[in-house]
Amino acid sequence: MVSEFKRKYYGWLSYAFASEVFAIVGLTLFLPLCLEQIARDNGYLFPDKTERCTSAVTSLDKTSPPGRCVVKIFGWFWIDSASFSLYVFSASVLLQALFVISVGGLANYPPHRKILLLSCAWGGSLAATLFLAVPSNIPLLIPALLAIIANVGFGTSVVAMNGYLPSLAKESPEVVKAAEVVKAYADEEHPIVDPTDSADDDHAGGINEPLVRNPVSDQLKLLRTEYENELSRTTSRISAFGIALGYGAGIFLLFVALIPITMMKGSTFSLRLAISISGIWWAVFSIPALAWLPGAQSRPLAVDDAVWTDAETVAVGKWSLWEEVKTAWQRLGKMLRWSEIKKLRNTFKFLAAWFLLSDSFTTISGTAILFGKTVLNMKPSALILIGIIVPSSGILGSLFWPRLQRRYGWSNLQVLLTLLVLASLIPLYGCLGFLRIFRGGFGGLTTQGEMYGLAVYFGFNFGAFNGYARAFYAEFLPPGDEARWYGLFSITDKSSSFIGPLIVGLISDLTGNIRYAFFFLVVMFWAAVPVLKSVDVERGRRDAQNYKYSSIST
């Protein structure tokens, strides 16, 4: 018989397996290409705006048409066909952030969390699947809306999925065993001690600490530390395995999708088909999450759960979505007050570092694709191969780094700092291309072959970084309020994605050479190092344990 933990664990993994495929196949690769191609199918060559763009190019594998391809939006102004895809992505990111803020509180209570996850998953997957029915001559607003719904559904469902991670790690057999060891020792020597609580001030070097140390207390603190370290490692391992599993599924479906794309020579229909296949995969493999993740049957609604609505209305069984949304925005404002930031200063320090790092990783990925296309003249088929190499290497990295961490006893913070430094070498290597010795030869990212090597290196570090960032952040979350804080984690991630691409675009426009953007990326990576190093892990854990909603509602 499958244990309750394994059912929950398999349900969580099944959704990682389902959703990550859409992120890799649909959201990251084919959706931007498809939106640009649909705009191109409806666009005209600049500046005359009389000749159709498709009269010069009908597939992605041919050379670009002479002049820019522009398309008329809302019947009165013209934009570049590539800009259409960027504007749709920006709009979806903005709406995703607003939606996560509004309904993120739903994910804190297990029955609501499961409903939110699955409704967003199936709504988003339906929007992706409907791309198959979108002809090229349809008004651009329709594919734009489908893309926005799919992205918003994906982002919100991932926030709900992440809300399961802290409790899932605590229920794992190895963590439960470590907790039992601490509790058994505490019950024997200190009956009133709770093993899951961080040490209080009297046991943490406070003014009431005895002059002669108590060996029993020292042993208890060591056991507590081992429990917290085991919890941290388990959280990282579960997170990393979920990402690796999703990457593996994404790579498999990329190969499947490449068959019709190759046969149809990169036609618009083949791109729409690839997006639809990823949407169907997302919907079908979310079904095990419906059966295995805990939901309404997990526990009855209680007054103590009324963290986002009025306690009296919850007690009598009433609930209002409008009150939920209104209170969510009010609470976000309270969460971001300076007095609250000081209470969880280490949580916010990590969020500040994450703001820089997520922007750096997102921007370096997009910049590399543009660099390969415009400077190294790589064909779209070669760029799709890069898209396969990165998650393939990400699987290896997600599995390799937890083993290395366990072998040498590194903390999550040490691994993150190592990954950060290693990733910063990529844009630094690109900066070397300005040196004369590399011009016309090999080195400094001046050849197409180097792009493949850097794709392996980037994926190996990026796959592990995502898992460790999510797991490390879990250590600083107030108990019972994980989904809301993961919502802030997602908002920090998405809000920063506006900045990097904007600055890279300005650098490229002002200099005429996108390679200069690599200097900016190096600065972005290294600016996060002192912020991340300043995080006090033990203090952050203790502050999160002591932080209660009542502390900001009074």
Q: Which residue has the higher pLDDT, 251 or 121?
A: 121
Q: Residue 44: which H helix or E strand, with range?
A: strand 44-45
- State the average pLDDT over residues 32-52: 79
The pLDDT score that the predictor gives to residue 38 is 86
Q: How far apart are CA 348 and CA 350, in angstroms?
A: 5
Burial degree of 5 (CB within 10 A; 0-12, 13-18, 19+): middle
- State the average pLDDT over residues 483-492: 68
Alpha carbon 93 to its chain's center: 12
The pLDDT score that the predictor gives to residue 204 is 42
Residue in this structure with the two tokens 């990576």, named with its chain if needed: 525
The pLDDT score that the predictor gives to residue 480 is 62
Confidence of residue 491 (pLDDT cuts 50, 70, 90): low
Residue 78 pLDDT > 70, yes or no? yes
pLDDT in tens, 456-475: 998 888 878 877 887 788 77
- State the average pLDDT over residues 380-395: 79
Residue 526 pLDDT > 80, yes or no? yes
Confidence of residue 402 (pLDDT cuts 50, 70, 90): confident
The pLDDT score that the predictor gives to residue 483 is 59
Residue 316, Cβ neighbours under 10 Å: how many? Answer: 8
CATH architecture assigned to 337-545: Up-down Bundle (1.20)
Confidence of residue 92 (pLDDT cuts 50, 70, 90): confident
Residue 193 pLDDT > 50, yes or no? no
Helix pair angle (448-474, 380-408), 10° resolution: 40
Average model confidence (pLDDT) across the chain: 76
Residue 315, Cβ neighbours under 10 Å: how many? Answer: 12
Burial degree of 145 (CB within 10 A; 0-12, 13-18, 19+): middle
Q: What percent of the chain has pLDDT over 70?
A: 75
The pLDDT score that the predictor gives to residue 286 is 93
Q: CB of 335 within 8 A of CB of 528?
A: no
Q: Which residue has the higher pLDDT, 211 or 373?
A: 373
Q: Where are the beta strands (DSSP E) in 104-216?
A: none
The pLDDT score that the predictor gives to residue 52 is 80
- State the average pLDDT over residues 182-195: 62
- What is the per-residue burial (b if ≥16 Cβ within 10 Å, else e) of 458-479? bbbbbbbbbbbbbbbbbbbbbe
Contacts of 11 (CB under 8 A, 6+ apart): 288, 289, 291, 292, 293
Residue 299 pLDDT > 50, yes or no? no
Residue 139 pLDDT > 80, yes or no? yes
Q: CB of 489 within 8 A of CB of 351?
A: yes
The pLDDT score that the predictor gives to residue 537 is 80
Residue 9 pLDDT > 50, yes or no? yes
The pLDDT score that the predictor gives to residue 128 is 94
Confidence of residue 179 (pLDDT cuts 50, 70, 90): confident
pLDDT in tens, 218-240: 777 788 878 877 877 787 788 77
The pLDDT score that the predictor gives to residue 310 is 37
Confidence of residue 314 (pLDDT cuts 50, 70, 90): very low
Q: Is 354 helix (H, G, I), strand (E, B) or coil?
A: helix
Distances (CA, A) of 449 to 43, 383, 421: 34, 12, 23
The pLDDT score that the predictor gives to residue 278 is 93
Q: CB of 155 within 8 A of CB of 490?
A: yes
Confidence of residue 203 (pLDDT cuts 50, 70, 90): very low
Residue in this structure with the two tokens 């505490």, named with its chain if needed: 186
Confidence of residue 347 (pLDDT cuts 50, 70, 90): confident
Residue in this structure with the two tokens 């530390």, named with its chain if needed: 225
- State the average pLDDT over residues 394-408: 82
- What is the per-residue burial (b if ≥16 Cβ within 10 Å, else e) of 221-259? eebbeebbebbbbbbbbbbbbbbbbbbbbbbebbeebbe
Q: Which residue has the higher pLDDT, 131 or 181?
A: 131
Helix pair angle (31-41, 81-103), 10° resolution: 130
Degrees to nearest 5, angle at CA 322 with 319 and 328: 95
The pLDDT score that the predictor gives to residue 206 is 43
Q: How far apart are CA 514 and CA 500, in angstroms?
A: 13
The pLDDT score that the predictor gives to residue 126 is 96
Where would I find the H helices in 409-498? 412-431, 448-474, 482-496
The pLDDT score that the predictor gives to residue 320 is 64
Which residue type sits at 444?
G
Which residue type sits at 254?
L
Confidence of residue 110 (pLDDT cuts 50, 70, 90): low
Confidence of residue 509 (pLDDT cuts 50, 70, 90): low
The pLDDT score that the predictor gives to residue 414 is 86
Residue 15 pLDDT > 90, yes or no? yes
Residue in this structure with the two tokens 């064909």, named with its chain if needed: 379
- State the average pLDDT over residues 193-200: 46
Q: 18: closest CA among 248, 284, 240?
A: 284
Residue 445 pLDDT > 60, yes or no? yes
Q: Where are the beta strands (DSSP E) in 326-445?
A: none
Tokens of 243: 């990402």
